[in-house]
Amino acid sequence: MTATTRPVPYMPTFTSLVDRIWFIAIHVLMLALLMTAGTAHATSRVKDVAGFEGVRDNMLVGYGLVVGLNNTGDDLKKIGATKESLLGMLERMGINTRDDVLQTTNVAAVVVTAVLPAFSRNGARIDINVSSLGNALSLQGGSLAVTPLMGANGEVYAVAQGQVQIGGFTAQGAGATVTRGVPTAGRIPNGAIVEREIDYELPQKTSVKVALRNPDFTTARRIADAVDSFLGTMAAVATDPGTVLVQIPQGYKGTVVDLMTDIEQLRVEPDEMARVVIDETTGVIVIGDDVRISTVAIAQGTLTIKVTETPQVSQPSPFSEGGTTTVVPRTDIQVDDQSGKKLAVVSSGVSLQELVNGLNALGIGPRDMISILQAIKAAGALQAEIQVM
């Protein structure tokens, strides 16, 4: 046997300490440049920006009764639906109470909602949310009776039951009431059992569709190019801004899950439209990184008039004849015309940080900044879309 030897990395010989320092400095600079080039454009996994068509959650809803409340349930005299539901539940159990007067306050009508994940199988458990429907004060200590959960097509897909957990409480006395959180809504972890599966067969598929969460032509094309580069064949095509159609190659026949897993891990650079999002209700402004503006001059000012009344009492001298006490008005008027604020010029093609710094230099608050951005857009100097929420 002959022993194999590993290649020894090249190590230059240095004749002086200066040469060694220059060698280290050059390599550190090259490493920094490589790291900068790698992070210049942020990439994301396909899994983070898109999903697969058909692989989605389904919403379930049901109507039921929460029992065992401590006199905090619905008033049966005012909420007829709760009374009829209670009578119907007792009749199904063989108990006839139609001739009796029900006065219990330990029952509450509730709406039960749940999300059925994709590929959930029979017997799997899912979380449910419970919300009061009547005038119940609290669901604390209550238990949800058996409640079927239906989909949009009216079919039952799960059955819910269990102890309701709430995150709030209410306490009241003769003179005060304290409420924390929302005591009329709660949840039951693993409170429903899946009774029916939603058919979605992957092995028989001949193609899969990648659905973008934020439709964009450029991003869709980049995903298609990344898939083609990985597979080594022209198997993917962007059919629209939100969909990439991938034909299943011969090597993935019968193993579609493997193909979907490999596609999810591919990295692409998402593209996005330059956009400014404004919420006029709260004054929130979100400016995208690609927002640019042309050269424009901005001035902001508001005329403020402040009127202050400080009336004074004038009294006559002691022992004077004919003098009376009167109130002498004293009015102070101050006018602020914002004359100290000047025009500010914002240069063409400035970045997001420069735009924010320029607006902040004018001492502008969020409310006034909204008006300024809309005015810049009206002047045609803002190369971005303004979306008002």
- By C-alpha distance, which of 172, 374, 210 is closest to 276? 374
Exposure of 139 in the CB half-sphere (CA atoms within 13 A) = 31
The pLDDT of residue 304 is above 60: no
Could you report the per-residue pLDDT of 54-86, keeping only the tens digit for each? Answer: 888 899 999 999 999 988 899 988 888 898 898
What pLDDT does 8 receive?
43
Query: What token pair was written down for 248?
Result: 């299943």
SS3 content of the chain, % helix, strand, coil (to 5): 25, 35, 45
User: How would you classify residue 123: left for phi > 0, otherwise alpha for psi between -120 and 50, otherwise beta?
Assistant: left
Q: Domain locations in the chain?
A: 58-194, 207-268, 276-313+328-388
Alpha carbons 166 and 66: distance in angstroms, whole number: 13
Highest-confidence range of 108-117, 320-329, 348-357, by mean pLDDT? 108-117
The pLDDT of residue 348 is above 70: no
Alpha carbons 254 and 203: distance in angstroms, whole number: 5
Could you report the per-residue pLDDT of 24-34, keeping only the tens digit for each? Answer: 555 555 555 44
CB contact at 8 A, 164 and 72? no
Alpha carbons 185 and 174: distance in angstroms, whole number: 25
Using DSSP's 3-state secondary structure scheme, residue 225 falls into helix
CA distances from 27 to 22, 24, 84, 224, 362 (A): 9, 5, 81, 37, 45
Alpha carbons 65 and 87: distance in angstroms, whole number: 11
Q: Kindly compute the dihedral angle of the four CA atoms of residues 114, 116, 121, 122, in this order, to the nearest 10 degrees.
A: 30
What pLDDT does 335 receive?
53
What pLDDT does 16 receive?
57
What pLDDT does 22 receive?
53
Mean pLDDT of the region 118-147: 93
Lowest mean pLDDT among 4-8, 11-15, 116-120, 171-175: 4-8
What does the DSSP 8-state code read for residue 204? T
- By C-alpha distance, which of 111, 142, 112, 145 is closest to 128? 112
Q: For residue 133, with 0-12 CB atoms within 10 Å meaning exposed, 13-18 middle and 19 or more buried, which class applies?
A: buried
What does the DSSP 8-state code read for residue 187? E
Query: What token pair was written down for 268?
Result: 């692409």
Q: What count of other Cβ atoms lies within 10 Å of the Cβ of residue 294? A: 15
What pLDDT does 244 receive?
95
By DSSP bridging, strand 169-172 and strand 177-180 are: antiparallel
What pLDDT does 9 receive?
43
> Which residue would you say has higher pLDDT here, 334 or 116?
116
CA distances from 70 to 135, 141, 244 (A): 14, 7, 56
Exposure of 264 in the CB half-sphere (CA atoms within 13 A) = 10
CB contact at 8 A, 335 and 305? yes
Query: What token pair was written down for 130?
Result: 């419970």
CB contact at 8 A, 130 and 110? yes
Alpha carbons 75 and 83: distance in angstroms, whole number: 9
